[in-house]
Amino acid sequence: MTPPAPARLFGRGSWAEAQRVASVLRKETVGGALLLIGAAIALIWANSPWGESYEALRDARVGPSALHLDLTLGTWAADGLLAIFFFVAGLELKREFVAGDLREPRRAALPIAAAVGGMAVPALFFVLLNLGGAEGALRGWAIPSATDIAFALAVLAVISTHLPSALRTFLLTLAVVDDLLAIVVIAIFYTEQLSVPFLALSLLPLALFGFLVQKRIRSWWLLLPLALLTWVFMHESGVHATVAGVLLAFTVPVVRSEAAGGPDAGPGLAEHFEHRIRPLSAGVAVPVFAFFSAGVAVGGLSGLGESLGDSIAIGIMVGLVAGKAIGITGATWLIQRFTRGQLDESLGWPDVLGLSLLGGMGFTVSLLITELAYGAESEAYEHAKVGILAGTFLAAVLAAVILRLRNRRYKQTYAAETRDVDRDGIPDAWDTVDDRAEHDPDWDGALPPGRTLADTEVDDADPDAAPPASYETVDDEAEHDPDWKGTRPPGRTLGPNGS
């Protein structure tokens, strides 16, 4: 019996998944650009002569005090707007594991292991560098554990690399799993006072929200008040309010029920919500949070040196750069070592290292955990923010260098993934059957084996035979037609000497 072929790590997924991921990444790339703009404005303003006005705006309180919701604008951004971000992340994660390529355990193992390694190793480095440090310094152990997908995609857009679809899909999945693990860490380790009655109350609107969406009721005037109630009760319980966003997302169905027509009747409610809310998350929620959280008064070169010399900042920088690189790359190596998996033939370990460094873009969630760990008014908070910005910048530079050096290979993969010889709208990398006879009215060539035209079977010997698994789509007329005057197809040769 022939043993099964080894699984391909970072192998190309399905065409439907590749299309969906490409659409998501386009929106996140725009969000990443807005995030960079928001962070840059905050940094410039905070270090300008008008820095006090930035702090006054960030610390301005709005909201009803009777409901304990008279929060600063910075807190509203962290607790409120990021709940939208985590709602979208929850939808994405659930869809991946229910209807996406990650429903196959062998494909899900790699991003899950990489996310765990990419959180554990940075946290370990931070702890080692802060043992015996200032009191309370170890509370920030989770700061370098997060990956900011918008920031990573913004870096990819700036360096203009043709990253293969498999690597982009892995990066997105890694960041989403990372976000879920981060919210679990926040809920468990950064909840100081827990009010069980309010936590129980939050489950009531959450359950009603889940009941309505399972019935495919999507009226905003019903769902939005329930979501707000869930958020308010979660906030009052002492658990960070962003947890409400993830829990609400997990109640939304991904696949249509049989009563609603089944999976073939169209996209589920999760995809509908994601399509509507992702632009709000990427274009408004995350950039506004970055604006209110990234502004740190460095205090000139002396202040910058003092911050970078602090053990907290050093631990964060080492965690984001070395920790992420070692954690993600090491987890990938372990998956290959202890399974039958092999790297895809078009990729090498430098690609994995470059992608791991992109995982060091720890911005949005890292800033959130920093505030929870040290408080917004402490010196440790300011030093940690400097460490996050410096570590993220260094990881971005190193990732850019490695990925740009590999860009020639990526261009070849990109050309292969966009080539569509039969012009049926599906690149040949995903559809190797040349079916021009079925969709091109001007096609004069013969039908490919096992295909039909106008309901007439080509294979008369076996009308029920399935179409072949693949069909040659390379135009090799230059190799067998002595009168051929055209150019050679890409990657082919003419003549025995290859000239």
Asked if 89 and 80 count as a contact pair (C-beta separation under 8 A), the reply is: no
Other C-beta atoms lying within 10 Å of the C-beta of residue 224: 11
Residue of 466 and 336 predicted with greater confidence: 336
- C-alpha span between 409 and 239 (Å, rounded): 47
pLDDT, one tens digit per residue, over 208-221 is: 999 999 888 888 89
Residue of 473 and 448 predicted with greater confidence: 448
Q: Which of 61-70, 278-287, 298-307 has the highest mean pLDDT?
A: 278-287
Q: In sequence order, which residues have a C-beta less than 8 Å from that of residue 111 and are 6 or more positions away?
A: 102, 170, 173, 174, 177
Predicted model pTM: 0.79
What is the model's pLDDT at position 496?
Answer: 41
pLDDT, one tens digit per residue, over 141-191 is: 999 988 887 777 777 777 666 778 778 888 888 888 888 888 889 988 988
pLDDT, one tens digit per residue, over 376-409 is: 778 888 899 999 999 999 998 999 899 888 888 8
pLDDT, one tens digit per residue, over 26-62 is: 777 788 888 889 989 998 998 899 889 999 999 999 9
Kindly tell me if the per-residue pLDDT of 374 is higher than 70: yes
HEC string for 207-263: HHHHHHHHCCCCCHHHHHHHHHHHHHHHHHHCCCCHHHHHHHHHCCCCCCCHHHCCH
> Please, what is the angle between helix 105-130 and helix 324-338, to 10°?
140
- C-alpha span between 127 and 361 (Å, rounded): 20
What is the model's pLDDT at position 440?
Answer: 63
Average pLDDT over residues 439-466: 50
Secondary structure class of 335 (helix, strand, coil): helix
What is the model's pLDDT at position 266?
Answer: 59
What is the model's pLDDT at position 489?
Answer: 54
Q: In sequence order, which residues have a C-beta less than 8 Å from that of residue 247 and are 6 or more positions away?
A: 90, 206, 230
Kindly tell me if the per-residue pLDDT of 498 is higher than 50: no
- C-alpha span between 357 and 441 (Å, rounded): 49
Identify which of 171, 163, 22, 179 has the alpha carbon closest to the alpha carbon of residue 88.
179
Q: In sequence order, which residues have a C-beta less than 8 Å from that of residue 236 and are 6 or more positions away?
A: 68, 195, 198
What is the model's pLDDT at position 120?
Answer: 94
Asked if 93 and 180 count as a contact pair (C-beta separation under 8 A), the reply is: yes
Residues forming a β-bridge with 8: 342
pLDDT, one tens digit per residue, over 287-304 is: 999 899 888 887 766 777
Enter the tokens of residue 21. Answer: 């991921």
What is the model's pLDDT at position 449?
Answer: 53
Mean pLDDT of the chain: 80
- C-alpha span between 430 and 422 (Å, rounded): 12
The single residue listed with the structure tokens 């658990």 is: 239
Residue of 309 and 252 predicted with greater confidence: 252
Element (H, E) at 431: none
What does each C-alpha distance from 279 to 34, 152, 224, 407 come to in angstroms?
12, 17, 17, 29
Other C-beta atoms lying within 10 Å of the C-beta of residue 308: 15
Average pLDDT over residues 197-207: 94
Kindly tell me if the per-residue pLDDT of 434 is higher than 70: no
Pairing status of strand 71-72 against strand 61-62: antiparallel
